[in-house]
Amino acid sequence: MRQLQDLFDKQIQDQLRFSVFIADVIESELRKRDIHLTVEQKQQLIKKLEKNKDSLNDSMSIQINDDGSIEITNGGGESDFELDLLDSAKLKMNALLENFPSIINDASDAESEKYLRNIKKRTSSILKENSKHQKNLNKQLDKKWGKLLDLLEIFVVLSEDVGAEFTDCVINSLSEDTSPRLIVLSHSHARSCQVAKEIITLLRNGFADGADARWRTLHEMAVETNIINRNDDELAKKYIDHDLVHKWKTAKAFSEYDQEFSGGIITKEELQDLEIASEKLVKLYGKDFLNENGWAVGLTGRPRTRFSDLESLAKFAHLRPAYKMACLNVHGGARGLFFRLGLRYDGDENFLLTGPSINGLANPIQNTAYSLLQITTALLTYDVNLDYLVAMKVLFKLEQEIFEVTSEIVEKYYD
């Protein structure tokens, strides 16, 4: 990718080379006197200037002989022309500096168009080569992690099926309005299954760091779901109502930059309606309700509830280190640049990982199974019966097997 830059650097160096630069100045001054140098004369002039560059002054005498040869000496002797080159050199240098931006822009425009046309012509071969590389990596990954990933996928599918059947059964059996707690539990479980499938897709393609970032979301959902499940409908209602606070703040932010919100431009009237609705919630729950995690203020006693407070409430504080590590794959920061799960067992933080890897899948796999189990269990214990008790035991056994197989793989490849 440095071919164009190297060529450009060479051209600039040639133009700014003392002998070439002064020869250009002399040629320009002679042209003003209706004297036009030939190519041979210009080359001869450059050679003479190069030879005498250490002894030349600002003033220079130029003599063109009958045979077309050129003689140059410092000013003051007999000559055809005596040139004061200082001002002319300054003018030429200023002209070069002024033209640099346009020269660079024109050259980069032309070259980028050429490069883009070449890329489009080679699209098929580039994508074919990339696909071939991915397939080869997938084969290696499947050999190492295939059995474990199959177990995790079965675990996710079973969780989804049991959860969907449970939700349909419970909702259809209710003679009154669905409770806020069940609404939260069922929606949380549905989303957690989707996130778990995203994690599996990333894992099967060698993106352990991306999978860990998605597990971070799953962990947050497991924490909130566990808290909602341990409390009554009133807290679940607060949790649902807090969605309106998020909607108002998001709409307000989009409105400030005149950007689309939820597929359309937010009007002043709509923004005002959201603000009025939020103010009603403040009157109902208190001013701290507008803060992050404001729905849980009554549980923590803090005006500003941190996520670590929620982890403690949910009895998931032991996952705090794993959560902080997963944050590296979500946020910026130096640690996220140098720590990659995909390089975890290679020990070289200076290696630049730009794509998939067969390393680092253990943590995301185990954590995904654990968090999805917590969310599924929270849903099924809303109205447990013998059938769902059996289903939960099956999920527990599968999770235990996932942890055991993970340990076997880590011991086999990394001990």
Residues in Cβ contact with 162 at an 8 Å cutoff, skipping those fewer than 6 apart: 376, 380, 388, 391, 395
Question: What tokens appear for 197 in the block?
Answer: 């499938």
Residue type, 246: H
Cα distance between residue 331 and residue 43, in whole Å: 60
What parts of the chain have a pLDDT lower than 70? 1-16, 53-60, 66, 68, 74-89, 96-97, 99-100, 103-104, 106-107, 174-177, 258-264, 344-349, 415
pLDDT at 90: 72
Q: Which residue blocks in 174-232 are alpha helix, DSSP H?
A: 180-204, 208-230
| pLDDT for the residue 390 | 95
Dist CA 177 CA 171 (whole Å): 9
CA–CA separation, 397 vs 391, rounded Å?
10
Residue 356: predicted pLDDT: 94
pLDDT score for 31: 79
pLDDT at 107: 66
| Helices and strands counted in the chain (H then E) | 15, 5
Asked whether 191 and 283 are in contact (CB, 8 A), the reply is no
User: From residue 57, how far is each of 14, 16, 43, 63, 83 by CA, in Å?
Assistant: 22, 18, 21, 16, 11
pLDDT for 274 equals: 93
Furthest-apart CA atoms within the chain: distance in Å: 117
Task: Give the Cβ contact number of residue 46 at 10 Å.
Answer: 19
Closest among 329, 346, 339, 335 to 199, alpha carbons compared: 329
Residues 142, 147, 149, CA angle at the centre, nearest 5°? 75
Cβ 44 vs Cβ 63: under 8 Å: no
Model confidence over 24-69: pLDDT tens digits? Answer: 777 777 777 777 788 888 888 778 777 776 666 666 677 777 676 7
Nearest in space to 298 (alpha carbons), one of 289, 308, 311: 289
- Pair 63, 79: CB distance under 8 Å: yes
Give the Cα separation of 103 and 337 in Å (integer).
36
* Closest C-alpha to 63, from 48, 82, 50, 49: 82
Q: Note the pTM of the prediction, 2 decimals.
A: 0.77
* Cα R_g (the chain), whole angstroms: 36
**How far apart are the C-alpha atoms of 264 and 269, rounded to whole Å?**
14
Strand partners, 64: 70
Beta strands in 321-381 (DSSP E): none
